[in-house]
Amino acid sequence: MITIDASAFQDAIKAATDQIAGAVGESSLRAAGFAGAEVFRDEAIRNAASHKKTGVLMRNIIAKRLDEESDGDKRQAYLVTVRSGKFGTDGDAFYWRFVENGHRFVRRKNKKQSLKAARAASALEYGTASAPAYPFMRPAYESKKQEAAEAVTAKLAEKMAEKAGGA
């Protein structure tokens, strides 16, 4: 029977991970996370620009840090989203989900008929209409996920080199 003592290997791995954890602090993780989120944000803005009418949607695409999901020097979470609020607020892109996913035009319900009968009658008389989707967030994610991972890796390597060179 062969026995292998892996304690030296485990100690070496623990020392290497401790060294990396020491070199990578919260500020390094924040910078790396934002570098990845910035790639997605820029691509989403570029995608939204192709359907530009007023520019409100483009100006409201943001990357923000999620405080409740982030855990100091262990984990940093970022969200690329569209800033939205109440309808009628000037410069607000409350409608971004309708652009991203498309929507149906819904006519008012006749109070004397049931909803199902009203929809059926409306479809027969007017036809069905729906606004097509013009996705800009999902294609940004699908097309740039590899580039974002590379940006995070590059920024993290840069920050680790700064810490190693400065220490």
Q: How confident is the model at residue 127 (pLDDT cuts 50, 70, 90)?
A: low
pLDDT value at position 99? 84
| In the chain, domain spans | 15-97+136-166
Q: Is the pLDDT of residue 31 over 80?
A: yes
pLDDT in tens, 80-92: 999 887 776 777 8
| Tokens 């570029």 belong to residue | 46
pTM of the predicted protein model? 0.72
Q: How confident is the model at residue 63 (pLDDT cuts 50, 70, 90)?
A: very high
The CA distance from 98 to 111, in Å, is: 27
Q: Is residue 130 helix, strand or coil?
A: strand
Q: Which residues of 76-112 are buried (b: 16+ CB within 10 A; e: fewer)?
A: bebebebeeeeeeeeebbbebeebbeeeeeeeeeeee
Transcribe 52-113 into DSSP letters: -SSSHHHHTEEEEE-TTT-BTTTB--EEEEE----TT-TT--TTHHHHHH-EE--PPPPTTS
Q: What tokens does 2 get?
A: 């062969």
Q: Which residues of 2-23 are buried (b: 16+ CB within 10 A; e: fewer)?
A: eeeeeeeeeeeeeeeeeeeeeb
Pairing of strands 103-104, 61-65: unpaired
